[in-house]
Amino acid sequence: MNPQAKLLSITSLFLGSTITITSNHWIMAWTGLEINTLAILPLISKSHHPRAIEAATKYFLVQAAASALLLFSSMTNAWYTGQWDITQLTHPTSCLLLTTAISIKLGLVPFHFWFPEVLQGTSLTTGLLLATALKFPPITLLLLTSPSLNPTLLTILAIASTALGGWAGLNQTQTRKILAFSSISHLGWMAIILVYNPKLTLITFYLYCLMTIPIFLTLDTIKTLKLTTMSTAWTKIPPLTATLMLMLLSLAGLPPLTGFLPKWLIIQELTKQEM
């Protein structure tokens, strides 16, 4: 890929994310999300492989539909309340539409079908951006609107995501698809606690990024795309492969490791809320 084009795409990604995270107006938030979508498309399709082109097309269509729904939700809210402020989302229909739009953008169940396919069709480094950096702006919008969201709907989406993310990942042999389902499962944990304790959602997201980034980078270093090659990878760089095993266990949430902390805190908070 042309270095100038790569630089332009990455700069646009930073710009789009910054606009969405710092905006107070729905139109600005939507603009940031659109810039993000357009900036990641060249990175997804840079290998010119049919699978990569297919992944880019799927990603574009899904994100465009979600953005249109988000704009419709904010317009409905503005129509009834006269407010374009992100924190002033009070109309019930708008809240429902917004939850659906962000769920599609993030890939929560039942809108998750696109995510494993897109991740499978792209490189590990672009997959890393899709699983971490591009999830941050939609999660920020959820955090800003959390007081007015419907807890029942979020709980249903969250339980479905956590269950399906765990189950569907068992049936995969491709590391990228396993990490995609892991992402869906973690998003479920983030969504369930969103209404009760938004800061906990943010902590969970940060820790998820902290565990996912080294996993993707390690898999990229040892050039591992399948579980079969992963089982023989320890002969290449034994210390790195041992660390990878620990990182994967942490991502799974095994008690003494970091990944267990957010889940423990979330369960504790849900118990306080008598959930």
pLDDT tens-digit readout, 157-195:
999 999 999 999 998 999 999 999 999 999 999 999 999
Task: For residue 255, give both structure tokens.
Answer: 């008690």
**In angstroms, what CA-CA distances link 20 with 54, 84, 124, 241?**
27, 14, 25, 37
Task: Report which of 227, 212, 116, 95 is spatially closest to residue 161, judged by C-alpha positions.
Answer: 116
Amino acid identity at 25: H
- Given a cut of 90, whether residue 47 has pLDDT beyond it is no
How far is it, in rounded angstroms, from Cα 86 to Cα 29? 8
Q: What pLDDT digit, counting tens, does each position of 123-144 carry?
A: 999 999 999 999 999 999 999 9
Per-residue confidence (pLDDT) for residue 234, from 0 to 100: 81
Per-residue confidence (pLDDT) for residue 233, from 0 to 100: 82
Task: Supply the mean pLDDT for the chain.
Answer: 94
Q: What is the pTM of this model?
A: 0.94
